[in-house]
Amino acid sequence: MSEKTRQHHKLLILGSGPAGLTAAIYAARANLKPALVSGFEPGGQLMITTEVENYPGFPEGLQGPKLMDMFRAQAERFGTQFYAGDIENADLSQKPFRLQNASVELTCDALIISTGASARWLGLESEERYKNKGVSACATCDGFFFRNQDVAVVGGGDTAMEEALYLANLCKRVYVIHRRDELRASQIMQKRAIQNEKIEFVWNSAVDEVLGDDQKGMTSLKIRNLKTNEIKEHPITGLFVAIGHTPNTHLFQKQLNLDENGYIVVKPGTTYTSVEGVFACGDVQDHVYRQAVTAAGTGCMAAIDSERWLAEQES
Ligand code: NDP
């Protein structure tokens, strides 16, 4: 068996989405010589999107993976050291912090957590086949491609209502498919969605199958009434799955303050977590905005917060 790599870094960043890579760019330019662990999904959620049209500075839009390649190249240019793979164990109880997996044991004085959140999916084989060809988990990202079309949103929480209301501004008709006859969303969001004439609720129902072809993408949905088991096919060209996100915080349970949904709690207006020297940015601490540009913004904040914190420790 090969020797485990043991290395100490002043600043370690976990995650290689827009938040982590932006933190790396800023930290490297501040001469903190950061190291970054890419994680099992290098590039984060933008790697599974196609066209990104709302990242400022790219008026023609660009592919999500291309944007992340550019982020990474910029972080590399200023000397970020990259580790592939995922961390399996983190100990934040003493300094330096200790993070490891089977092949590396890393210690650091300051840690930036930007491990993101993963959208939950229905788990249908046809859902997987039509991802980015009609099936999406982000209306703000992809709604524009479905202008004046009939679309569906699955879920009954605040995210589903928010997605439905956003889509109602763009699309011809929005069907909200919910597995019960009662919404989980807050009263105010429920009211707004129910009052919107373009939104129609399909109660006690679930998506049974996404149908389409390789050229046109998704063309219709088979929806099952869970009370009667009746299945009907509807000509719907976009499906937005809004059944929640899971923040990637399992490593930090019982070590950092997390909210009731598992997101890292940061001091308002900063990236400071409940442990001194540990900072959090991007979707792992944000269930509201969840955009590449907001993740990048908080990544910049984390680099600045950690730089100042490190400087205070040295003075
Ligand atoms: P939630 O967990 O609140 O809601 C998920 C919804 O998806 C539920 O209605 C649930 O149904 C449904 N669901 C879950 N799994 C499945 C499945 N396999 N098939 C079909 N339906 C499924 O997640 P949200 O993302 O909506 O919200 C997360 C948190 O973020 C909440 O605290 C919310 O209030 C907050 N939030 C706040 C916003 C705001 O204030 N503007 C905006 C967005 C989120 P069921 O109800 O039957 O369990």
CA atoms of 68 and 30, how far apart (whole Å): 21
Ligand 1 atom nearest the C-alpha of 123 is: 18
Question: Distance between CA atoms of 215 and 119, rounded to whole angstroms?
Answer: 26
User: Which of 153, 224, 243, 285 gets mutated to test ligand 1 (max ligand atoms within 8 A of its CB)?
Assistant: 243
Report the alpha-carbon distance of residue 198 to residue 157 in Å, rounded. 18
Distance CA 68, CA 165 (A): 29
What is the 73 CA–ligand 1 centroid distance (Å)? 36
Whole-number Å distance between alpha carbons of 205 and 236: 15
Ligand 1 neighbours (beta carbon < 6 A): 122, 154-160, 162, 179-180, 184, 243-245, 261, 287-288
pLDDT tens sequence across 68-80: 999 999 999 999 9
Residue corresponding to tokens 């020297």: 277
Query: Could you give phi then psi for residue 211, rounded to 5 degrees?
Result: -115, 150
| Spans in the chain with pLDDT lower than 70 | 1-2, 48-50
Question: Which domains are delineated in the chain?
Answer: 5-118+245-314 (3.50.50.60), 121-241 (3.50.50.60)
Interval 248-274: pLDDT, tens: 999 999 999 999 999 999 999 999 999
Distance from the CA of 44 to the center of ligand 1, in angstroms? 22
Please tell me the predicted confidence (pLDDT) of residue 190: 97
DSSP strands (E only) in the chain: 5-14, 35-37, 51-52, 62-63, 81-83, 89-91, 97-100, 104-113, 117-119, 135-136, 150-154, 173-177, 199-202, 205-213, 217-225, 231-234, 238-241, 245-247, 278-280
DSSP assignment of 284-311? GG-SS---HHHHHHHHHHHHHHHHHHHH
Per-residue confidence (pLDDT) for residue 1, from 0 to 100: 57
Looking at the CA of residue 120, tell me the nearest atom of ligand 1.
15
- Look at ligand 1, atom 4, and give the residue with the nearest C-alpha: 157
Closest CA to 108 of 14, 8, 4: 8
Ligand 1, atom 48: nearest CA belongs to which residue?
Answer: 184
pLDDT at residue number 205: 98
